[in-house]
């Protein structure tokens, strides 16, 4: 991967030349191509969508629907199955509130709070699937997923360990038991080829800001027949075919779920992010992340008192230190221009399982280099000198 050339596309690295940004699982930086697409939309095409009859309104509506089509193609979906939302969190809330379904829910204990809490509000009976060596324990899942299970939720890539989960096996298991499968693709769509049709998941979601796009835009994917059956949890302008004092007729999906003025510029920006990501070979980003993590895990393991939770083939490195709290380590890293996340990563039940209050998490992306890895390791050694007294 030509990281030097890639970094040149990111204005933030021209400003902060010494920054080792390793918090990409939280959010990624934005290339000029995305920033320019948003700016161009506002300076040349801005209007509301699906409403005005003038040329500018037609241009804006066209840009919005082209963005949807482009993003849908990128994730192996059709445009009418691709609902724009604010991000993953909104997508799961929309789904959990709109899906009229009863039964038990199977939820891996490593699920992000955004993947857990909306379901926990709406489902009374949750079966937590345990995790073994950073992955969902399939044997345990086989015991827990039964004909009583209505929905199985699966994170594609863990935001704590950076491990790819056995999605295909879980889809098979869920469908054998007539349960729906919901894929949290927040950490996979940015880094690996993902085709929702091929995976045969019933619903899926991801956030644009974790894949070079703007904040406030993401996608809920749903199989057409399932979206058709669902009642929208928000209603308002733009999503109705007709309204009389007696009756309301909703538009079909995806508009049915997009009440009010949507994030048009966000969709245009996310479409530009997708175009940017298309320059990479299918497994190139994943391999690049794995390569950097391999080095990171190996070097961290040589430091006494450091415990690495992520396996060596992961795309994210989570670790703890016997000699300091994760926040203290992160502060020393910060003083050395290394930005990482420290905390529970919105996965408190998983932290509880490990008997810890958090980890330090380094998550590389397309613009990170060996230099970032070396700097991080050096700073961890410095933290050990400071705190290990």
Ligand X SMILES: Cc1ncc(COP(=O)(O)O)c(C=O)c1O
Instruction: Using CB under 6 A, list all residues that contact ligand X.
Output: 25, 87-89, 112, 114-115, 155, 159, 184, 186-187, 207
Q: For residue 3, how many other CB atoms are within 10 A of its CB?
A: 16
Which C-beta is closer to ligand X: that of 61 or that of 315?
315
- Least separation in angstroms between residue 190's CB and ligand X is 10
Q: Which of 138, 346, 351, 356 is catalytic?
A: 346
Which C-beta is closer to ligand X: that of 70 or that of 159?
159
Which C-beta is closer to ligand X: that of 288 or that of 341?
341
- Least separation in angstroms between residue 28's CB and ligand X is 11
Which C-beta is closer to ligand X: that of 184 or that of 255?
184
Q: Is 88 a catalytic residue?
A: no
* Residue positions counted in the chain: 389
Query: Which of 270, 172, 279, 154 is CA-nearest to residue 212?
Result: 270
Strands (E), 180-222: 180-184, 203-207, 218-222
Instruction: Give the β-pairing of 104-108 and 149-155.
Output: parallel
Structural tokens at position 36:
């320019």
Angle 226-230-232 from CA coordinates, rounded to 5° = 140
Which residue carries 């991801």 as its tokens?
Answer: 206
Half-sphere exposure of 320 (CA within 13 A, CB side): 14
- Least separation in angstroms between residue 289's CB and ligand X is 14
Which residue carries 């199977």 as its tokens?
Answer: 106
| Euclidean distance between CA atoms 329 and 370, whole angstroms | 20
| Euclidean distance between CA atoms 302 and 305, whole angstroms | 9
**212 burial via Cβ count (<10 Å: 0-12, 13-18, 19+):** buried
Q: What are phi and psi of 128, to 5 degrees?
A: -85, 120
- Least separation in angstroms between residue 323's CB and ligand X is 28
Which C-beta is closer to ligand X: that of 271 or that of 344?
344
- Least separation in angstroms between residue 29's CB and ligand X is 15
- Least separation in angstroms between residue 25's CB and ligand X is 6
Which C-beta is closer to ligand X: that of 204 or that of 332?
204
Which C-beta is closer to ligand X: that of 60 or that of 89?
89
Q: What are phi and psi of 319, to 5 degrees?
A: -145, 160
Judge contact between 379 and 332, C-beta under 8 A: yes
| Euclidean distance between CA atoms 157 and 191, whole angstroms | 10
| Euclidean distance between CA atoms 377 and 352, whole angstroms | 27
- Least separation in angstroms between residue 173's CB and ligand X is 21
Which C-beta is closer to ligand X: that of 92 or that of 306?
92
Segment holding 155, helix H or strand E: strand 149-155
Structural tokens at position 375:
């700097």
SS3 content of the chain, % helix, strand, coil (to 5): 45, 20, 40
Query: Which of 343, 304, 352 is CA-nearest to residue 325?
Result: 343
78 sits in the region (left: phi over 0; alpha: psi -120 to 50; else beta) called beta
- Least separation in angstroms between residue 303's CB and ligand X is 26
Residues noted as catalytic: 346
């Amino acid at each position: 991967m030509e990281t030097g050339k890639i970094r040149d596309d990111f204005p933030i690295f021209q400003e902060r030349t010494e920054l080792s940004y390793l918090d990409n699982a939280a959010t990624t930086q934005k290339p000029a191509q995305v920033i320019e697409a948003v700016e161009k939309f506002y300076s040349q095409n801005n209007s509301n969508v699906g409403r005005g009859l003038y040329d500018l309104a037609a241009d804006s509506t066209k840009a919005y629907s082209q963005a949807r089509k482009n993003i849908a193609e990128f994730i192996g979906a059709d445009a009418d199955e691709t609902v724009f939302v604010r991000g993953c969190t909104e997508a799961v809330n929309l789904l959990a509130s709109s899906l009229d379904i009863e039964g038990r829910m199977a939820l891996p204990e490593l699920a992000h709070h955004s993947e857990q809490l909306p379901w926990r509000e709406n489902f009374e009976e949750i079966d937590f699937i345990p995790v073994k060596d950073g992955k969902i324990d399939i044997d345990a899942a086989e015991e827990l997923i039964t004909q009583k299970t209505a929905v199985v939720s699966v994170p594609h890539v863990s935001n704590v360990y950076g491990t790819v989960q056995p999605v295909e096996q879980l889809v098979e298991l869920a469908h054998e038991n007539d349960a729906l499968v919901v894929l949290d693709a927040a950490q996979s769509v940015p880094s690996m080829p993902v085709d929702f049709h091929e995976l045969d998941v019933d619903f899926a979601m991801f956030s644009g800001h974790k894949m070079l796009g703007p904040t406030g835009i993401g996608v809920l994917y749903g199989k057409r027949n399932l979206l058709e059956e669902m009642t929208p949890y928000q209603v308002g302008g733009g999503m109705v075919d007709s309204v009389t004092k007696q009756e309301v007729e909703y538009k079909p999906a995806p508009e049915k779920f997009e009440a009010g003025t949507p994030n048009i510029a966000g969709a245009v920006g996310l479409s530009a992010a997708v175009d940017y990501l298309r320059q990479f070979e299918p497994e190139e980003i994943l391999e690049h992340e794995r390569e950097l993590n391999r080095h990171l895990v190996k070097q961290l393991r040589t430091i006494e008192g450091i415990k690495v939770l992520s396996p060596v083939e992961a795309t994210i490195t989570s670790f703890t230190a016997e000699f300091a709290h994760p926040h203290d380590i992160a502060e020393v890293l910060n003083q050395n221009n290394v930005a990482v996340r420290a905390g529970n990563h919105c996965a408190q039940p998983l932290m509880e399982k490990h008997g810890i209050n958090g980890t330090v998490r380094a998550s590389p992306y397309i613009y990170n280099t060996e230099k970032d890895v070396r700097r991080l390791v050096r700073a961890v050694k410095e933290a050990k000198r400071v705190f290990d007294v």
